[in-house]
Amino acid sequence: MKAYDYSKVAKDYDLVELGGGEGPMTSELIHKILKKYKVKTVLDMTCGTGAQSIGLTKKKYKVLASDISKDMLAIAKRKAKEKKLKIIFKQGDIRTAKYGKFDAVIAMFNAIGHLTKKDFDKAIKNVKENLKEKGIFIFDIFNLDYMKKNFIKHEFIDTAKEYNGFKFVRFNKNKMNVKKGLLHINQKTFMQRGNSPFQMRKEKGWDMQIYSVSELKPLLEKNGFKILQILDYTGKKFEKNKSNFILMVARKK
């Protein structure tokens, strides 16, 4: 697998990926899940630019936010400071970082997709080490069963938005290895601020590992987790062939 280089996209990430906000998976849905399981402390192990960490801190959770990318982490720190929020930030790897014991660990926005299957297995084991007894692990990932039937082979417009004078259009032309569950992603994004000349950024040849629910279940169970809920991005019940994303909620046994 070829990794994605967040250092090249960090400064525009919030605008392109989140539209200036928290993105499609808002902290409201995560809050609803955490509230259900009486969670008070949260470890965001793939915090990126801080969308979930900031949203959950506003909801009065005690949050420690970690990310492997120093560039993404720097933006998260700046945003938290601007909002006068008390969040502890650490640079660390979900496969190895140990910060203590928390009620819940989250890893959002397809973060686990950047790991090989072997490394995801390591990450699950490490997540368990950071959880209290009966702690909750929440993560999301593209649904392989959906992608098998709905994968777009030709070049297409992935997103086109305008936010506070910042305009962008992103094109995707991807490949998929169904047997390995690997998305090979090629993107080009046209960005324009106001009426200034547009810029074009190419992101060529990085991979994302995706899973089916039938693959995730035994992987979680063998590593000491019990699955509590499987949802889609809206918070509704997951449907194998209709849900684009898997939102997995599991409990440490």
Structure tokens at 217: 């279940």
Same domain, 122 and 219: yes
Same domain, 130 and 218: yes
The total number of structural domains in the chain stands at 2
Place of tokens 């250092």: 7
The DSSP secondary-structure symbol of 210 reads -
| Structural contact between residues 138 and 104, judged by C-beta atoms closer than 8 angstroms | yes
Same domain, 84 and 203: no
Same domain, 57 and 156: no
H or E element at residue 240: none
Burial 60-77 (b: 16+ CB within 10 A, else e): ebbbbbbbbbebbbbbbb
Ranges assigned E (strand) in 83-130 = 88-91, 102-107
Q: Which residues contact 86 (CB under 8 A, 6 or more apart)?
A: 57, 80
| Structural contact between residues 6 and 17, judged by C-beta atoms closer than 8 angstroms | no
Same domain, 240 and 198: no
Question: Per-residue pLDDT for the chain (253 aa), expressed as one digit of tens each?
Answer: 878 888 877 788 877 777 655 544 578 899 999 999 999 999 999 999 999 999 999 999 999 999 999 999 999 999 999 999 999 999 999 999 999 999 999 999 999 999 999 999 999 999 999 999 999 999 999 999 999 999 999 999 998 988 889 899 999 999 999 999 999 999 999 999 999 999 998 887 899 999 999 999 999 999 999 999 999 988 999 999 999 999 999 999 9
Put residue 15 in one of left, alpha, beta given phi > 0 → left and psi -120 to 50 → alpha: alpha
| pLDDT for res 13 | 81
Same domain, 169 and 99: no
Q: What is the pLDDT of residues 70-125, one digit of tens each?
A: 999 999 999 999 999 999 999 999 999 999 999 999 999 999 999 999 999 999 99
* Domain span including residue 182: 146-209
| CA angle at 179 for the pair 175 and 185, rounded to the nearest 5° | 20
Length of the chain: 253
Alpha-carbon distance 23 to 110, whole Å? 12
Q: First-to-last CA distance in the chain?
A: 31
Same domain, 113 and 188: no
Same domain, 138 and 68: yes
Same domain, 136 and 188: no
Strand, helix or coil for residue 132: strand
Domain-located, residue 236: yes
Instruction: Assign residue 166 the CATH number of its domain.
Output: 2.20.25.110
Same domain, 47 and 120: yes
| pLDDT for res 14 | 78
Instruction: Assign residue 72 the CATH number of its domain.
Output: 3.40.50.150
Domain-located, residue 1: no
